[in-house]
Amino acid sequence: MHDLEFNDEDFGYFRRLLLAQAGITLADHKRQLVYGRLARRVRELGLGSFSAYRDWLKQAGGEELGRVVNALTTNVTAFMREPHHFEFLRSMALPQLEKQHELPLRIWSAGCSSGEEAYSIAMTVAEWRSVHAARILATDIDTDVVERARAGEYPAKLVEVLGAARQKRWLLRGTGASSGKVRVKQLLRDMCVFEQLNLLDAWPMQRQFHVIFCRNVMIYFNEEVRRQLVARFAAQLVPGGYLFIGHSESLHGLSDAFEGCGQTVYRRLP
């Protein structure tokens, strides 16, 4: 039961807003999710309905709009998620790229959420050669997760998947008030730069990347948004550079600028 009024028009409004702002398509069954994620803010502002919140949003503008986007993005992620990608990176992509390019390589985690993906890439690179072997740019539209990624602090439970040796090498255990938490060591954090970036906007990066990870982001986009994004990724990659996408995603029918070279791994054609 909803204690705040939330009707079809309200749902339609937030759907259009998220599509326009972030390229994200919300399916019909996401109605409850929209209510659940925004209701607290509506109450916090002392407003009695979503229609009143829509009026508020129109005057409040930028910052409030950012809150809505942050609230409605789905940020599920994990360290070493889809482990075969990190195995491919270490054994195939990095050695191949090293033959043709000077280190440090440039890697982009596009849609990085709270940073687990970027730090997993950093560990993989550092274990392969050194912390100086690549620079990692990690971006997300959601300013809350970008801040968490920068802090590099996680509940200890989330890093169990890394195993004891990796944890010891790359993480610091919290004590006192931080007990039960871990922090990514500075030398790994120094490999990564986290920035807020909407993938739909112009990209400020001047140079091409050797590797782009954009995993479990395009699933939220419609085909047209995906097609444009993949074309821009192709232009932003060096020839022979690698694009990693999520387990349920595919470039099939979206682009002919890539060849498949593994499970959801693609290589930019010359």
Ligand X SMILES: C[S@@+](CC[C@H](N)C(=O)[O-])C[C@H]1O[C@@H](n2cnc3c(N)ncnc32)[C@H](O)[C@@H]1O
Catalytic residue annotation: 37, 140
Least separation in angstroms between residue 85's CB and ligand X is 9
Q: Does residue 228 touch ligand X according to CB under 6 A?
A: no
The residue among 215 and 226 lying less far from ligand X, judged by its C-beta, is 215
Residue 86 CA to residue 8 CA, distance in Å, equals 43
Q: Quote the Cα angle for 7-11-14, to 5°.
A: 140
Q: Are 82 and 45 in contact (CB under 8 A)?
A: no
The residue among 73 and 255 lying less far from ligand X, judged by its C-beta, is 73
Q: Does residue 145 touch ligand X according to CB under 6 A?
A: yes
Residue 217 CA to residue 239 CA, distance in Å, equals 23
Tokens representing 263 are 């499970």
How many residues belong to the site for ligand X (CB under 6 A)?
24
Least separation in angstroms between residue 203's CB and ligand X is 11
The residue among 10 and 142 lying less far from ligand X, judged by its C-beta, is 142
Binding mask 2-41 for ligand X (x = CB under 6 A): --------------------xxx-----------------
Binding mask 91-130 for ligand X (x = CB under 6 A): --------------------x-x---x-------------
Residues 182 to 221 in contact with ligand X, rule: CB under 6 A = 198-200, 215-217, 220
Q: Does residue 71 touch ligand X according to CB under 6 A?
A: no
Least separation in angstroms between residue 244's CB and ligand X is 9
Give the list of residues 6+ apart from residue 229 with CB closer than 8 angstroms, or none.
23, 199, 214, 218, 221
Give the list of residues 6+ apart from residue 76 with CB closer than 8 angstroms, or none.
113, 216
Q: Does residue 74 touch ligand X according to CB under 6 A?
A: yes
Give the list of residues 6+ apart from residue 227 with CB closer than 8 angstroms, or none.
254, 255
Longest Cα separation, the chain: 62
Phi-psi region of 239 (alpha: psi -120 to 50; beta: other; left: phi over 0): beta
Least separation in angstroms between residue 51's CB and ligand X is 26
Q: Does residue 75 touch ligand X according to CB under 6 A?
A: yes
Amino acid identity, position 61: G
Q: Does residue 245 touch ligand X according to CB under 6 A?
A: no
Least separation in angstroms between residue 248's CB and ligand X is 11
Pairing assessment for the beta strands 134-140 and 105-110 based on DSSP bridges: parallel
Residue 211 CA to residue 101 CA, distance in Å, equals 12
**Binding site residues, ligand X, CB under 6 A:** 22-24, 73-77, 81, 111, 113, 117, 140-142, 145, 198-200, 215-217, 220, 246
